[in-house]
Each structure stands twice: as structure tokens, then as C-alpha cells.
Structure 1
Amino acid sequence: MSLTPTMSVRELVVNWHVTEVCNYGCRYCYAKWDDGGSTQELIHDGAAIKALVEEVGRFFKPGNSGNPLWAGMHWTSLRLNLAGGEPLLYAEKALDVIRHARRLGLETSIISNGSRLTPALMQVLAPHLAILGLSLDSSEAKTNLDIGRVDRQLRTLSRPDWVDMIALGRQINPLLRLKINTVVNALNWQEDMSNLIGTLAPEKWKILRMLPKITDDLALSDAQFDTFVRRHAHLDHCVRVEDNADMTESYLMIDPYGRFFQNIPGEKGYRYSDSILDVGAARAFSQINVSATKFCSRYTGELADLKV
């Protein structure tokens, strides 16, 4: 029997940031990647979409002992999460990714600012999703404007928009889980979002500290972040808190050009692997660092067991 503890999670999540493009202009945005000389994002190439999803599916398939993560953690399912930028700016292409992943047996989810979700799109999207993730940093119009969470016409979503959108998704897919992502920054740390979160009733509310990977704009102090977290501590049934250190080497991430990338501890910018489609997932993954322990710590409430 191995003496090395093996942690188990229900699912392994791979985040593919399919585009850098966004219709919002959040001042703290970290979705800025060095293109490495690539001519276009993979989302615009149907064959590349399928090839990447298939390669990721093979490499991260549960039970693949050739995956170095398997020695330290086990998972029973694989979920591909689409993020951006704003992935629904390319809604049909995002749907192609999701449908192909589902055909291969992967779970799927998406993180969106919600601005491009329509009833028609929700009808075709929601049945395929395990989780709908929505980015929401404030319920105040002025705060959203100051952050840059508005489009070029200075439009943002209102509370009724969010409530109606979420209700429709849950009606279409009763198994759909809702996750809200909130980036705490210098402009919203004093806000009380308890009422809004109570109304939306997400299964998970992820409270993230502004991560200064590209810019220090809207950075906040430890005390300010802790104040926001304490203000919402009574929502502990759904709250997950991630400070900057928690976000380093704890995510499996692919950039719009098909490379694994990772935060560099204490530095701005990212470390990149070679292209997954050029060298294969195994070789590309060997070029970055991911901590199984830190990955599992983000799912503390979902750990299945700890085997020795």
C-alpha cells in the first residue's frame, strides 16, 4: 500500500480561455496573453477546436496514469470550462466546443459576463451545461461604470436581467448549477452584496481578490479584502474565498492559442507551454507547474476522501 496520500475530487476542471476579446473593459482584467507569434485564436478554427478538445480529453481522462497529476490526486470525471475574455462573443463557436466535449463524455461549463445571453441562446446552451458561471462585481451601476464593467454604450446588466436570465436557465435545465464570480477590488470592497446573492441563490459564490498579473490598477489591501469577506461570512454555505496565493499554480488553464499557462509566483505575466496541438498535451503540461494539493484545496467541501 502506498504511503503517499492521494487526494480525490469528484471532477477535474480544465479552464480554456477561448478568447481575449471582451465587450467590457474591466480595469483589472488579467485576460491578456502574449500571442507567441500565433496568427489567430483557436476558437476560429473548427478543426483545431475538435483536436484540442480531444487531446485534452485523452490526457486528463480519469485513470490515465501517464498524467503526472494522477500520482497525487484522483478524479472521477472531467469538466471543460470555457472562459475568456467573453466566450459568448463567439456563441456558435463556443457551442461547437461544448457539443464536441459532450460527445466525448466531458462535463461542460462556461464563465460569462452575461451580456450576450438571450432567451434563444439560453435554450440551446443550458441543456449542455453542468454549471453556468456569471461574473458579477457589483449591483451598483456607478461602481460597474467605474470598474469598466460596461460595454461601449456604457450598458451593464441590472438585477432584473440577472434574475430572469438565471431563472430561465434553471427552468430549461433543472440540474444546472449557478456560480457567481466576484472580483473584490478598490471600488467594490465596501459593498454589501448579501441581498443580491441571496436573491440569485448560487450554489457557489466565488470571492476572488483582484489579481495584479497585468496591472496594479484597483488593487486593494489585505484589510480591505478581509473586510469584504467578513461582511459576507454569514453566506458560508455558498462562499468560496480565493486570495492571490490561492490562485497560483492551482488552476489548469489553456490560453486562446492552445497553450497551458500558469501564474508566476510574485511576478506579473504568465509562464506558457508549447502549443498543445504541436507537441501534445503530455509534453506541454510538463512545461508548467500545477499543485495537486492547491487544486484540491479549492474544493475542500467537495473532497471525496483522502487515501493512504
Structure 2
Amino acid sequence: MDMRNLVINYHLTERCNYSCEFCFAKYGLEEKFNTELHRNVDSVKLMLEDVFRYFRKSFKSIRLNFAGGEPLLVANLIDIVDIAFYIGYEVSIITNGSLLKASLISNLFQKISMVGISIDSFNSETNHKIGRYTKNKPNNNIRQFIEELNKLPCKLKINTVVNRHNWQEDMSISINELNPDRWKIFKVLPIQPNTIGITDEQYQYFIETHYKKVGTLVFAENNDDMRESYIMIDPLGRFYQNSENDKGYIYSERILEQGTEKAFEQIVFDKIKFNQRYISL
């Protein structure tokens, strides 16, 4: 591998307080939450140390991006972030933002270099259709907490999944007001059952609607751009990738059982696609 910087996405949990139908993080663990690795901090530490030793041989820096499900639901999150930070990882996190609070911003995010927040719409009705709500209430405090995050040295990224409910929405005014360092726009993956898929033309319409209006870096990722271009670890501590038909995942054996090198050989990683996604970072 010839890249200087690596990003690894560690999906800590499948649990989420939202119910977005299109969510990328569908692992089939519904009845196995108690086996998720984050419940044993010592095991997480051993895995992250082994992953770091393996990839550090080839990369100048390694960013560990905590994702889910919703990572802020993980009780041990602060301890795990501390472990990753002291091992030597640059640390980032992606969250739906609904559980952000002042105490987290003042403590947890001091060690985080980038906070990614998933925002698929600024319309309450649209968010409700997508499933982005808790107890029938949309998250109305996201702007307030983004303003607080902007006071910290960490970068802000916004992720948007374009789907049947939001592909005609113009989000440019609100995105410009929030002024993220990056805005990543994904086309919804055709995970089955999926009733909110869109055509390539609809996805392109959304991109063209915003590309010239938004004064920030816009990164668009179609389905093929995402396939095999991410290094991902699932809640059980396995490397995994989207299958060729995007209807499931391919998993390695557990990293703690096989070691990082052998487990990583069991999935496909396209370094050219990876470089194309992160070339502007």
C-alpha cells in the first residue's frame, strides 16, 4: 500500500435510537447485542493495539473513526476513545447528533479531531418519514450543538444520505449556515428490504442542486465508490465489506482470534478507490 494516511471505521454497536430504513449499519446482530466487543474494554484495547501495530508499518498516521449504529449509546465510549488516543490513533466520530450534550462536548471531544454528524434533512416531516426521530420527536437541538462544536479545534463533517424522501430538498442555505469543513453526500445503498431507493438521475439532481450553492468541500459517493473502499470493523471485532450486490456483508474471522494480518487478508480493500475518496484531506 502506498498511502500515507489511513482511515479505519470501527462500528462499535449496531444499536441506534433512530430507525432509518436505509442505514448502512445492518449487521444482523439484533439478538446479539450482549456480545458486542465494546462491553469488554480490555478486549477492545488488545484488538486496537494489534490493528495499530499492523497498519502503522505502512502508514504515516491512522485515524480511527468511531461509528455505529449510534456510538454515543456505548457506555464505555469515553474509555475506548482514551485507549485509542493513547495507542496513537487520530480519533474521529460519526453520530446522529441526538445525544450530544454539553458534558460530552467539554470532555469527550477534546481528544477528537473530527466530528461527523448525519443530517439527511432540515425538514421535520421528512426526517420523520426517513426514521430520524426518537419517540416521535425530531432532533431540534442539532444546530445548537454544532455551534458549540465549532468552538473546539476539531473539524466538522456532515454526512447526508440521498433517498426517496429528500432528493428534491434544497439544503444549501442550512449547510452554509452550519459551515462544515466537509459535506459528504451518499446515494442510499440498495439494502433489502429497501423502499426509499433512488435512481442515478435523482441522485445527480441532488448533487447538481447543491454543488455550486454550497461554500464548503462537497464529496459525493455513489454506491460503487463506497464498495471495497472502506476499512471497516464490525461490533464483534471483524473486518467486513459490502458484498458485490450490496445486499449483505462479507466478514473476516475475529481479529482477536486470527490477528490483524490474517483477518485483513480475508476481505477485499481497493486502495485506489480509498485514495480517490481522501485525496483532498
TM-score normalised by L of structure 2: 0.95
Q: How many residues align?
A: 279
The correspondence for 1:197, drawn from 175, 180, 195, is: 175
Gaps of 5+ in 1: 1-5, 65-69, 303-308
Q: Provide the residue aligned with 2:99 in structure 1.
A: 116
Alignment of 1:156-175 (within 5 A): 156-158=138-140, 161-171=141-151, 173=152, 175=153
Q: Residue 147 in 1 paired to residue 124 in 2?
A: no
Instruction: Give the Cα separation in 1 of the matches to 2:243 and 2:77.
Output: 28
CA shift for structure 1 position 168:
1.4
Instruction: Give the Cα separation in 2 of the matches to 1:213 and 1:7.
Output: 32
The correspondence for 1:135, drawn from 113, 118, 141, is: 118
Instruction: Give the Cα separation in 1 of the matches to 2:3 and 2:41.
Output: 34
Q: Provide the residue aligned with 1:184 in structure 2.
A: 162
Contact 1:18 1:84 survives alignment (8 Å): yes
**SS of 1:79's equivalent?**
strand
CA shift for structure 1 position 300:
2.5
Residue 48 to residue 188, structure 1, CA distance change in 2 (3 Å): same
Instruction: Give the Cα separation in 1 of the matches to 2:147 and 2:108.
Output: 14
Q: Residue 296 in 1 paired to residue 279 in 2?
A: no
Alignment of 1:1-308 (within 5 A): 7-9=2-4, 11-35=5-29, 40-61=35-56, 64=57, 70=58, 75-90=59-74, 92-151=75-134, 153-158=135-140, 161-171=141-151, 173=152, 175-234=153-212, 235=214, 237-302=216-281
CA shift for structure 1 position 30:
2.5
Identity, % of aligned positions: 41
CA RMSD of aligned residues (A): 1.7
Residue 87 to residue 36, structure 1, CA distance change in 2 (3 Å): closer
Gaps of 5+ in 2: none
Q: Which moved more, 1:27-36 or 1:96-105?
A: 27-36
TM-score normalised by L of structure 1: 0.87
CA shift for structure 1 position 76:
1.8
Contact 2:189 2:246 survives alignment (8 Å): no
Instruction: Give the Cα separation in 2 of the matches to 1:267 and 1:26.
Output: 17
CA shift for structure 1 position 47:
1.2
Instruction: Give the Cα separation in 2 of the matches to 1:150 and 1:46.
Output: 30
CA shift for structure 1 position 122:
1.0
Contact 2:237 2:254 survives alignment (8 Å): yes
Structure number with bigger Rg: 1
RCO greater where, 1 or 2, for CA within 8 Å and sep 6 or more?
A: 1
Contact 1:14 1:81 survives alignment (8 Å): yes
Contact 2:176 2:215 survives alignment (8 Å): no
